[in-house]
Amino acid sequence: MQPLIVVNFKTYATAMGQKAVDLAQAMERASKDHVRMIAVVSAFDLHAVKQAAPSLEVWSQHLDPVGKGSFTGWLQPINAIERGAQGTIINHAEHKVDIEHVQQLMQQLPDEFPMCACAADVDEAHQLAELGPTFIAVEPPELIGGDISVTTADPAIVSETVNAVRAINPHVRVLCGAGVKDGKDVKTAVELGAHGVLLASGVTKASDVDAVLADLVAGLGN
């Protein structure tokens, strides 16, 4: 199974609207067969990004477990899928939800629709693993947006999450994130047992996006 490089566009000015399209196309260009590259974009940009970068996997940054009807302002999953979402993250450190939200969303999503539940620590990862999401991304909140990668600052949280999740449900794959910047960080993440990385600012704030993406991919070999 290919390792993942998941880039969260958040609401960075460099990754919204036309810039989201440009960044997604850069990711499409950087894609290689041995890597699964995923762009996690604003709901507003799902359709345009999917149209402009059709071969790139595109996820939503959040979804709500609501049906069609009286749900003003919520992110309705089927609508998101119809607009191009091929997966979603949930419970990101910047958009926390309760465990029932994750559980109900999972029940509502089609089988095979990947969900990556984010966890701040091993305990939260443990709790989420019991629900059996496709992926769990462990991201220490204090390292998010910083210059030191979780793989350097706290490698133990990565390996301990991998072990904890594996003990509960070996089908759930673990990603790690926070401060991941380059191919060396990606390589270390995989050596620690992660199935890939979730990152944002290393790409969205890069002065040479193509070079950063190429380096991230190179971290996973050829």
Residues making contact with ligand G3P (CB under 6 A): 8, 92, 139, 144-145, 177-180, 198-202
**139 is known as an active-site residue:** yes
Contacts of 54 (CB under 8 A, 6+ apart): none
Catalytic residue among 28, 124, 139, 160: 139
Q: What is the smallest separation between the CB atom of 68 and ligand G3P, expressed in angstroms?
A: 29
Answer for the pair 60, 92: CB distance below 8 angstroms, yes or no. Answer: no
In this structure, what token pair is assigned to residue 124?
Answer: 């939260």
Q: What is the smallest separation between the CB atom of 3 and ligand G3P, expressed in angstroms?
A: 16
Q: What is the smallest separation between the CB atom of 84 and ligand G3P, expressed in angstroms?
A: 19
Q: Which is nearer to ligand G3P, 105 or 216 (CB)?
A: 216
CA dist 134 to 40, 51, 117, 163, 174, Å?
Answer: 15, 25, 8, 16, 9
Q: What is the smallest separation between the CB atom of 196 and ligand G3P, expressed in angstroms?
A: 12
**191 is known as an active-site residue:** no
Catalytic residue among 28, 57, 62, 92: 92
Q: Which is nearer to ligand G3P, 80 or 93 (CB)?
A: 93
Q: Which is nearer to ligand G3P, 11 or 163 (CB)?
A: 11
d(CA 9, CA 222): 26
Alpha-carbon torsion (79, 80, 81, 84), positive or negative: positive
Angle between helices 99-108 and 122-129 (to 10 degrees): 40
Whose CA is closest to 64, among 56, 52, 72, 54? 72
* Residue 138, SS3 per DSSP: strand
Q: Which is nearer to ligand G3P, 145 or 193 (CB)?
A: 145
Active site residues: 92, 139
